[in-house]
Structure 1
Amino acid sequence: MAARSRNLLLGFMIFCTIFSLVSSRNMVVPVYSNSLEADENSTEYYIDQKNPDWELMKNRVKVKGIYMTGNTVGYQERFNKLIDLVKTTEINAVVIDVKDDNGLMTYSSELSDVQFTGANKNVRIKDINAVMKVLRENNIYAIARIVTFKDRTAGDKYANLAVKNTSGGIWRDRHGMSWLNPHNRESWDYIVDIAEEAAIKGFNEIQFDYVRFPTDGNTKIIDYGASAVGKSKAEAIAEFLSYGRERLSKKGVVVSADVFGLVTTTKDDMNIGQHLESIAKSVDVICPMVYPSHYGKGSYGVAEPDFEPYKIVNRSMTVAQDRIAAMKEVNRKAILRPWLQDFTASYLPKYKRYGPDEVRAQIKATYDAGAEEWLLWNAGNKFTAGALNKE
């Protein structure tokens, strides 16, 4: 009896061993090492997963945001005041300058190419890690604004990346600014490297601004070089954004692009490379700058657009929403999140002073058009608290 029991036990153990070996064939298991120091870039420890879905890593929220310059973030009192605004109202996101309109970094970059250009001079945010800690602790969605191709700092230092004139020199716009060449893939890498560094710092989203070709100045003498042959401006911009999203998705961040407000209703690329449907295939979010003050008299049948904020925003957003919805063949396409006007355009010959009613009218126009997110723009970072719902 005892012998029989031992034989049964032995048989059961053999069966379990065989079953375990067979079952484990389809398992992904860690490969352990004797080393106590793990290299985070090593493939020694884990078997690679095939075709991971990076979309699952992205922190998607319904953004209601405001804009902050590097100066504001670097000045503790002003920064704290805006954080209080976020904590006490419906605002849940901030857009922070990372690379500004001059191509300068707002915090010190560790990238050698950026250091070489001198873009780290006079950084305004002395401790970006402390800033990100405040945002995390207050559950604030962080968006890094990167001025893309308008970059006098890198353009002057890296002439091979800059837009050229027909004489072979660096082309400059009417303000004397050089631009990075949107057709040049080395320019792409300079920009996306900065974006990746921002993602590593903790930003949830990368927002590319000035993601277009230059318009101001004598554009007739521009020579974009051999890389532009056979490629349209719209194709170049869309390919850059697709390239940026491909790299940045692996960091788990959302990618957005700012576009002119008229892009929402113009069928072509306005000769700047911004074509709505093309960009909608290349990013997660499109942010049209639908400031009523920026529309000419008579736009959409409105005599004075600055005086009719609801009509201008609603018309722009409704058309854009319909155009993107009509892209039936596209599996993944961008959502719309407009930049709204929270400033008074006193530079206009005839203007309207913007307050709570005008700002809220634009927010309502956005919702009525079917969009669910928005951003407020004020260059001086002085926002109309009375336009915002309290939390």
Structure 2
Amino acid sequence: MVRGKVVAAPDTEPPALEIDPLQPVHSYRGPVTVRGKASGAATVTADGVTAQVGADGVFELTLPAPPLGTTIVATDAAGNATTLPLAATVQVPRIRAVHVTAHAWSYEPLREGVLDLARQGRIDSVQLDIKDEDGVVGYDSEVPLARESGASAGIYDAREALKTLHDMGLRVIGRIVAFRDATMAEWAWNTGRRDWVIQNPGGGPYSSKYGAIAFTNFASPEMRQYNIDLAVEAAKLGFDEIMYDYIRRPDGSMSSMVFPGLTDTPSASIAEFLRESRDPVRSAGAFQSAAVFGIASTRPDEIAQDIPAMSKHLDYVAPMLYPSHWGSGEYNVSNPNAQPYDIIFASLVDFQKQTAGTGATVVPWLQDFSLGVSYGDAEVRAQIDAAAAQGINSWILWNPSVRYHGGALDPA
């Protein structure tokens, strides 16, 4: 008889892992709890956070922020592991907002007019400018290029503004006018950084209706990073959303423009900028959106805004659908400025199609100013009703003087 020691077979069976469905969340900030069952596991880990597994296999793991395309790993005592994908659905909440410039926020009568709309429940969000059409950063930015170029103006106190608005339960959309930036363009040109500026074929700065040196070069890595740095700084300060505006090339003939360093089409470069910006902005806690031309859905190459390509990297697209900006007969609407309902309804059909399947929603900019046709409560309300008829209950109102027709807006 041969006697010997019986050696147990090594444990190679990985634990079974089940994850309870994650509830949709409405912010990239704040903790998210993941629950499930990991039979046979000792620990469960996701995004660097580890939790012990109970004897019954049940676990609960609290992450500091929503998981975005990560994995969850269940590991047993023998080191066997089971990995599953883990991603939360982050949904843009309803937005009823008005545009506010830095100077308007610093001027009490205009600021109080906006806050009164909030007190009456007529708006739930405020779009507050971070960097405006002149390239001026409204608060005292710590971004080195903003300080070195003289863009950082300190017109308002960002932390104080955010506290005021958040204490009222309002969301704050920070608008960054990206590549129309005379402050940076002039400074860059005059300090020898000429590849940061869009040029003409003769090697001079490109001149447009916006000024002699008004557009920075979206193909410049430094200019892309400058805008991303401002966005991330603002998100960390507490802005709930970052909206890029003038995220395009100047309108006009392509033959009159030179973009130093451009290796692709302008449209592809703009979409790639949004891809580069998306994760840093979301990781800092904010949604990412972009204001786009109304014509971009049908004529994207006119201003380098490819809506489907851009939308893949956005939480929402904000088309500027101002009736006064459409030509006669657009979308078979004979006089868009005098037919606000018709032009908003028709143009949103296209934007809904263009964003379908991208993960981005549509939040239109609507007109609350008079240009050629007098606009009051009825005209503003007609636009809101047209959006609602397309299933869109979010909107942002634009008035450059920051005075709004509250009578057009339903109180909550």
Q: TM-score range by the shorter chain?
A: 0.7 to 0.9
Q: Does 1:155 align with 2:185?
A: yes
Work out the CA distance in 2 between the residues paired with 1:324 and 1:49.
Answer: 21
Q: Distance in 2 between matches of 1:363 and 1:354?
A: 13
Q: 2:275 corresponds to which letter in structure 1?
A: S
Over 3 Å counting, the alpha-carbon distance change for 1:26 and 1:258 in structure 2 is closer
SS, match of residue 98 in structure 1: strand
Which one of the candidate residues 113, 131, 135 is aligned to 1:81?
113
Residue of structure 2 equivalent to 1:3: none
Larger mean CA deviation between 148-157 and 378-387 belongs to: 148-157
**Contact residue 147 and residue 211 of structure 1 kept, 8 A:** yes
- For residues 280 and 25 of structure 1, do their structure 2 counterparts lie closer, same or farther at Cα, with a shift above 3 Å needed? closer
Task: State how far apart, in whole Å, the 1-side matches of 2:198 and 2:354 are.
Answer: 32
Q: Structure 1 stretch 287-296 or stretch 366-375: which is displaced more?
A: 366-375
Higher strand share: 2
CA shift in 2, pair 1:59/1:169, >3 Å: same
Task: State the 1:220 CA deviation.
Answer: 3.0
Structure 1 position 51 matched with structure 2 position 70: yes
Retained in 2: the 8 A contact 1:155–1:178? yes
Q: Which sections of structure 1, spanning at least 5 residues, go unmatched?
A: 1-21, 32-47, 346-350
Name the residue aligned to 1:5. Answer: none
Do the aligned residues in 2 keep the contact of 1:314 with 1:369 (CA within 8 Å)?
Answer: yes
Select 2:325's aligned residue among 267, 282, 294.
294
User: How many Å separate the matches in 2 of 1:57 and 1:83?
Assistant: 31
Distance across 1 between alignment mates of 2:169 and 2:221 = 36
2:272 is equivalent to residue 246 of structure 1: no
Write the distance in 2 (CA, Å) between the matches of 1:144 and 1:27: 34
Q: Determine which structure has the larger helix proportion and give its number.
A: 1
User: 1:233 Cα deviation (Å)?
Assistant: 1.5
Change (3 A) 1:243 1:55: farther
Deviation at 1:162, TM superposition (A): 1.3
CA-CA distance at 1:370 after TM superposition: 2.0
Task: Map Cα deviations across residues 9-39 of structure 1 (whole Å, 9 max, x no partner).
Answer: xxxxxxxxxxxxx9645568979xxxxxxxx
Quick one: structure 1 residues 290 and 90, their matched pair in 2 at CA, closer, same or farther if it must change by over 3 Å? same
| Aligned residue among 214, 223, 228 for 2:262 | 228
1:339 maps onto 2:365 in alignment: yes
Q: Quote the Cα distance in structure 2 between the aligned partners of 1:71 and 1:116.
A: 22
4+ residue runs of structure 1 moved beyond 6 angstroms? 28-31, 52-55
Q: Which residue of 2 aligns with 1:379?
A: 400
Deviation at 1:55?
7.5
Q: CA offset at residue 302 of structure 1?
A: 2.0
| Alignment gaps of 5+ in structure 2 | 1-39, 51-66, 72-84
Counting only pairs closer than 5 Å after superposition, residues 64-213 of structure 1 correspond to structure 2 as 64-121=96-153, 123-125=154-156, 127-158=157-188, 159=193, 160-174=195-209, 175-213=211-249
Structure 1 residue 129 displacement after superposition: 1.1
Displacement after TM superposition at 1:215 (Å): 1.7
Q: Partners of 2:335 and 2:281 in 1: how far apart?
A: 41
Structure 1 residue 201 displacement after superposition: 1.2
1:289-334 CA-partner distances (Å, limit 9, x unpaired): 1111111112122221111000000000022213333x4xxxx421
- How many pairs does the alignment contain? 337
User: Secondary structure in 1 aligned to 2:176?
Assistant: strand
Aligned to 1:319: 350
Q: CA deviation at 1:157?
A: 1.9
How many percent of aligned residue pairs carry the same amino acid?
A: 30
| Comparing 180-189 and 73-82, the one that deviates more | 73-82
Looking at structure 2, the residues matched to 54 and 282 of structure 1 have their Cα atoms a distance apart, in angstroms, of: 19
> TM-score w.r.t. structure 1 length?
0.80
Counterparts of 2:307 and 2:287 in 1: how far apart (Å)?
18
Q: CA RMSD in A?
A: 2.5
Separation of aligned partners in 1, 2:220 and 2:124 = 36
2-side partners of 1:384 and 1:72: how far apart?
16
Q: Give the conservation status (yes or no) of the 8 Å contact 1:99–1:146.
A: yes
Checking the alignment, whether the CA contact within 8 Å between 1:261 and 1:288 is kept in structure 2 is: yes
Aligned amino acid, residue 138 of structure 1: M
Q: TM-score, normalised by structure 2?
A: 0.76
Letter of the structure 2 residue corresponding to residue 155 of structure 1: A
Cα drift, residue 76 of structure 1 = 2.6
1:338 counterpart letter in structure 2 = P
Give the Cα separation in 2 of the matches to 1:178 and 1:248: 26
SS at match of 2:219: coil
Distance of 2:43 and 2:337 partners within structure 1: 67
